Chains A and B, each alone.
Chain A
């Protein structure tokens, strides 16, 4: 549904996007991650037909953005980072305006459907200027999907709204993926991890990582990590550490807050053996849990390099 190959964009002498390639299949949610200025918005603007790439090719819903910009625009719903609103219009009037501009037949029904999807039916007669920030965000989403586009491009859709509304928007994005391909940018990593099938990480215009959060985790962290807290006298600390080190599969043991972090070989589940060993040595086990590497860690690992 989205095919991007070697996409570059120059702003004067500044290279904002440097030969980026990725793709998204139908019904997929692709997350675009990166710090500010990484090229996320530039990528999205190219994919929406707002501006042409300097080099490379981007195909959206089967149409080349440079050659068939009109067709691309017909098939894309776009929510820019700053939700573009006409404060003087009513909610329904605003969505109707965009529906008509995009040539939607049976406008009234399409508008009601879009408002229904974002739960704005009860507020459809309200003036846009009187909506809260979260509702404005939802209205922006309604505008983006009123013409039932194949691809939805959402630039930081959860920025600046309260946690309850963030959860609602995420839920709506997840529902939308059933009938649309969604590309959305964020710098909240846990969010990308919760929603996205795959993520693209950009840094200074370059693609630095691309894949499922799971694959990225495996690629960057080839080990399993465990955290363990053992109920043992302070004087036995070294003895316990040696004991843990001696377990097969363990690569290193380090102190962390009252317990130990164990780095073990991938998929060498040492938990059973560890419990057995600790108990047979006469100690108690306070806590034992795997330490999952979040996308946050992956992000910092890549971007920090």
Chain B
């Protein structure tokens, strides 16, 4: 598993695509932070969760970009045949790849720690409890989104298709938060919201509320997505 992890990490750091993704990531985060800072001058206090909150939307698009290559490229290049005939379990292939994506994302996320530091240097002291909760939440949230991305990467040999499918899926999961606005039944709306990504982030982690059910939701999503991915990889053997 760690051999796979190391190879994928090395790929993230040697591929120009990852640097482009990282650059786009920081441009967006920087713009958003800057905007929030501007607002904080006149309208309201700076929100310590503003960047992670924005990330919860941005990850709908960035998670697929970070994971689309992971298995789709192995399928395309035929290396998957060699991987599946190496004495390693299908689980360690999938988990190794997932962990590398999560680790790379964690590094990107760490870069955004600069924003609370900037706030403090300006004499604005955000609620660090909320900031911490928002960051832990978005880290788990990102893990779940990446696990979904890895799953879609396993079903195709086209990176574009993998990215498109996982973006669509994640967007749907993200929009579930809005279901309450259009569904007449309260219970149904509540259920849909409970299944959505935002429903477990915007009103809990992002406001400093650390709930076991939200942690379980994201952890569960990671486990289910990886389990399905491992089965998908295994299914190549059944064909």
Contact = CB atoms under 8 A, between A and B. Distances in A.
B79 A86 contact: yes
A74 B80 CA distance: 17
Interface residues of B, number: 23
Contact of A102 (B15, B84, B86, B239): B86
Contacts of B81: 45, 50, 78, 80, 84
B87 A74 contact: yes
A99 B239 CA distance: 28
Contacts, number: 60
* Max count, chain A CB within 10 A of own CB: residue among B7, B11, B77, B88: B7
Interface in A98-137: 98, 100-103
A143 B78 CA distance: 14
Contacts of A83: 78
B97 to A, nearest CB: 13
B86 A73 contact: yes
A143 B10 CA distance: 19
A100 B3 contact: yes
Contacts of B181: none
B78 A103 contact: no
B121 interface: no
A81 to B, nearest CB: 8
Main secondary structure of the interface of B (DSSP, over half): helix
A102 B87 contact: yes
B122 interface: no
B4 A51 contact: no
A211 interface: no
B239 A11 contact: yes
Interface string B71-101: 0000001111111111110000000000000
Contacts of A231: none
A101 B88 contact: yes
Nearest to A49: B85
Interface of A: 11, 45, 48-52, 70-71, 73-74, 76, 78, 80, 82-89, 93, 97-98, 100-103, 143
8 contacts: A73-B86, A73-B87, A80-B82, A84-B79, A86-B7, A88-B14, A101-B3, A103-B87
Lowest 7 CB-CB distances: which A-B pairs, in order? A84-B79, A73-B87, A48-B85, A84-B78, A100-B3, A74-B87, A51-B237
